[in-house]
Amino acid sequence: MSLKSATANDWVELRRDTETGIETLRAHFEGHAYDPHWHDVYLVGATEAGVQQFRCRGRRNVSTPGQAFLLTPGEIHDGDAPEAAGFTYRTMYIEPAWFEGWLARLVDDAPSAGEPMFEATLASDARLVTAIGRAVGALHDADLRMVRHAALDDLLLALGRHVDWRLADTRADDPPSLAGRARDYLHAHATDDIGLDDLADALGVSRFRATRLFKAAYGMPPHAYLVQLRLVRARRRLMAGEEPAETAAALGFADQSHLGRWFQRAYRLSPAAYRRRCTNIPDA
């Protein structure tokens, strides 16, 4: 596994709002930013300067200043800078339960069952970009509570035109697809040292077919998805204050260094740095 190296000009600022659990991030990258990965939260951000390029929903997206980028939980994306000057962006990572509850309080026609999703990955919407900037700034700088609330409400109103509701599937007699069954198997055995043969046997197909179907459905092969699943769970444990070494052992990584290499590839922060920024717990 080779880790693409950062440039001397890359930087990352991460904060976590204790009231809402929202993480805010400002960062600058030149060249390769991060490998394909996904989050279990909503991602709402905007490019401040330069050109940001990323693949999501099966297409290459190019975000420039004045554009917002919007990702729902589970959407796989990567990132790089196609121009030498790189790009600077700001973004928010919003917990689904909080986001859906927030919408339900402020949106009169929100359905009682279902989950909000974004209609498009990129949005050229000046009001939304301004609202993202205000909300990130208010949370990132720990502004007055009422200022933070006002900024978040303004962001929701700006997001309203970009949100659609995906109704929950209630067809109990519709068996899950092979890819869906494979995904369920990976979630059920996320911390086990499973192989492709184990996955194939559980599905009753060859390992080659299992890999092909999974990649077609989720955009990455099963082994890459399993790593990302462990990283998502690692973020949760680190956010709760767990030591990186304990997290690595609990999630099936060989050791803390193994976790650290994968974590750095996906998030451009070490597990210790992420833990420190999200919990304010100093390193021992």
One domain for residues 149 and 30: yes
Q: Domain limits at 214?
A: 178-279
Total of domains in the chain:
2
Neighbours of 266 (CB within 10 A): 20
pLDDT in tens, 194-222: 998 999 999 999 888 888 889 888 888 99
Residue 1 lies in a domain: no
Residues near 203 by beta carbon (within 8 Å), at least 6 away in sequence: 178, 181, 182, 185, 210
User: In Å, what is the CA distance from 78 to each residue of 52, 57, 61, 62?
Assistant: 10, 11, 10, 12
One domain for residues 183 and 162: no
Q: Tell which of 117, 136, 166 closes a domain.
A: 166
The CATH number of the domain holding residue 217 is 1.10.10.60
Query: Per DSSP, which regions of the chain are E strands?
Result: 11-16, 23-29, 32-37, 42-50, 52-56, 59-63, 68-71, 77-80, 87-94, 115-118, 122-123, 163-166
One domain for residues 187 and 162: no
One domain for residues 143 and 205: no
Amino acid present at 212:
R
The CATH number of the domain holding residue 40 is 2.60.120.280
One domain for residues 214 and 267: yes
| pLDDT bucket at 107, cuts 50 / 70 / 90 | low
Evaluate if residue 173 carries a pLDDT over 70. no
One domain for residues 112 and 185: no
Cβ atoms of residues 180 and 167 within 8 Å: no
Q: Regarding predicted confidence, which is higher, 130 or 172? A: 130
Residue 78 lies in a domain: yes
pLDDT (0 to 100) of residue 82? 93
Angle of helix 178-188 relative to helix 222-239, nearest 10 degrees?
Answer: 40
One domain for residues 57 and 123: yes
One domain for residues 141 and 258: no
